[in-house]
Chains A and B, each alone.
Chain A
Amino acid sequence: MAEESGKIDPMHQFEVQTIWDGFNIAGHQIAFTNSALWMSVAVVLLWAFMAAGMKRELVPGRWQLMVENCTNFVAKLVDENIGHGGRKYLPYVFSIFMFILFANVLGLLPLGIFGLHPFTFTSHFTVTGILAILSFLIVLIVGFWKHGLHFFTLFVPAGVPWYMALILFPIELVSFLFRPFSLALRLFVAMTAGHILLKVLAGFVINSANASPIWGGVVGIPSFALMVGISALELLVAGIQAYVFALLTSLYIHDAEHLH
């Protein structure tokens, strides 16, 4: 397939490459990859972003205002969706929101011009899967810790006749168990699809310009214009997906905290 569509392989950007070979634990190689590198970059940038804005000045400067906007945004989200007793989950929801946001936006940066190829690690199911399992584990632990076996009433909506409860319980149970998959799948597919689309369009531009100036004008320039638009759309998607992940995490925590 790849050889038919010219030299551009849109899946190449998702390849995990080893930077440092690392060491072996029980036959498994623990290597430092480009995925790990960009995770570290995201963490360092996030840390710098927060550190520069946490000076607690009475009259906030521009940077502090930016950080305060972020924290207020997530605090409002948590207050609205978890409600009473939600503030103790604010650090987790804020961390996961900012980490995903930074990861998504970092992956979109056009640093390839300088020979530095950003790797969108949120486009890998392993990474988003771990993030989703973290959220799901918090729900399970909090739910069983707080309510014990009473937690299972989550799967039977209040005021349901017993014969309906027999049908509803398995359905609700399956939909509950599917939550980590849907959470991880949404983020991973949204990022993967957007990046493939951008690379396919980039392939159109390069291949048409190489074919002849006429094809470059007819196909290449409209494709390039579309790329600019899609890039803006992808920035929007990067923000929305981080928001949706944080929103659904806090909704699920609400279930564990209050059982309806």
Chain B
Amino acid sequence: MEPTAMISPEAAKLLGAGIAAIGAGIAAIGVSNVFGKFLEGALRNPGAADGQQGRLFIGFAAAELLGLLAFVVAMILIFVA
């Protein structure tokens, strides 16, 4: 039997881009985890906090990048694919 209501390629692209946006939300959890855990540790030992800011931003950059990849996937689906 032939499928009667196929989803059009254009609609599938936009749906895919929308689903890719979930990745941004998950990256938000990751970034908030980085800063939250840092604050937790910094409040326990404020003396050591300033020396760890470089590591804080390395963790932030790594967590953020994976979220930005979700944005790239969405942009590729809309404009390139």
Check if B68 is an interface residue, CB within 8 A of chain A: yes
Q: Tell me whether A185 and B54 are in contact (CB under 8 A).
A: no
Q: State the Cβ distance, A77 to closest chain B Cβ, in Å.
A: 7
Check if B69 is an interface residue, CB within 8 A of chain A: yes
B29-66 interface mask toward A, CB cutoff 8 Å, 1 = contact, 0 = none? Answer: 00000000000000000000000001001101100110
Interfacial chain A residues near B58, Cβ < 8 Å: 247-248, 251
Check if A71 is an interface residue, CB within 8 A of chain B: no
Complex CA distance for A186 and B71, rounded to whole angstroms: 11
Check if A243 is an interface residue, CB within 8 A of chain B: yes
* Residue among A1, A190, A240, A251 making CB contact with B68, cutoff 8 Å: A190
Q: Nearest chain-A residue to B14 (Cβ)?
A: A1
Interfacial chain B residues near A166, Cβ < 8 Å: none
Q: Tell me whether A247 and B54 are in contact (CB under 8 A).
A: yes
Complex CA distance for A249 and B54, rounded to whole angstroms: 12
Q: Nearest chain-B residue to A245 (Cβ)?
A: B61
Say what secondary structure dominates the interface of chain A: helix
Check if B22 is an interface residue, CB within 8 A of chain A: no
Check if B12 is an interface residue, CB within 8 A of chain A: no
B62-81 interface mask toward A, CB cutoff 8 Å, 1 = contact, 0 = none? Answer: 00110011011001001000
Q: Tell me whether B61 and A193 are in contact (CB under 8 A).
A: no
Q: State the Cβ distance, B35 to closest chain A Cβ, in Å.
A: 11
Q: State the Cβ distance, A13 to closest chain B Cβ, in Å.
A: 15
Q: Tell me whether B57 and A244 are in contact (CB under 8 A).
A: yes
Complex CA distance for A251 and B60, rounded to whole angstroms: 15
Q: State the Cβ distance, A63 to closest chain B Cβ, in Å.
A: 26
Interfacial chain B residues near A185, Cβ < 8 Å: 65, 68-69, 72
Q: Nearest chain-A residue to B62 (Cβ)?
A: A182
Most buried by B among A186, A189, A240: A189
Check if A81 is an interface residue, CB within 8 A of chain B: yes
Interfacial chain A residues near B61, Cβ < 8 Å: 186, 244, 247-248
Q: Tell me whether A186 and B54 are in contact (CB under 8 A).
A: no
Q: Tell me whether B68 and A243 are in contact (CB under 8 A).
A: no
Complex CA distance for A193 and B21, rounded to whole angstroms: 12
Q: State the Cβ distance, B39 to closest chain A Cβ, in Å.
A: 16
Q: State the Cβ distance, B54 to closest chain A Cβ, in Å.
A: 6
Q: Tell me whether B60 and A244 are in contact (CB under 8 A).
A: yes
Q: Tell me whether B65 and A247 are in contact (CB under 8 A).
A: no
A184-204 interface mask toward B, CB cutoff 8 Å, 1 = contact, 0 = none? Answer: 011001101100000000000
Q: Tell me whether B69 and A240 are in contact (CB under 8 A).
A: no
Interfacial chain B residues near A192, Cβ < 8 Å: 71, 75
* 16 A-B contacts (beta carbon < 8 Å): A81-B54, A182-B65, A186-B61, A186-B65, A186-B68, A189-B68, A189-B71, A190-B64, A192-B71, A192-B75, A193-B71, A240-B57, A243-B57, A244-B57, A247-B54, A248-B58
Task: Give the interface of B toward A (CB within 8 A).
Answer: 54, 57-58, 60-61, 64-65, 68-69, 71-72, 75, 78
Closest 9 CB pairs of A and B: A189-B68, A244-B61, A186-B65, A189-B71, A182-B65, A193-B71, A247-B57, A244-B57, A80-B54
4 further A-B pairs in the complex, CB-CB below 8 A; given A81-B54, A244-B61: A185-B65, A186-B64, A192-B71, A247-B61
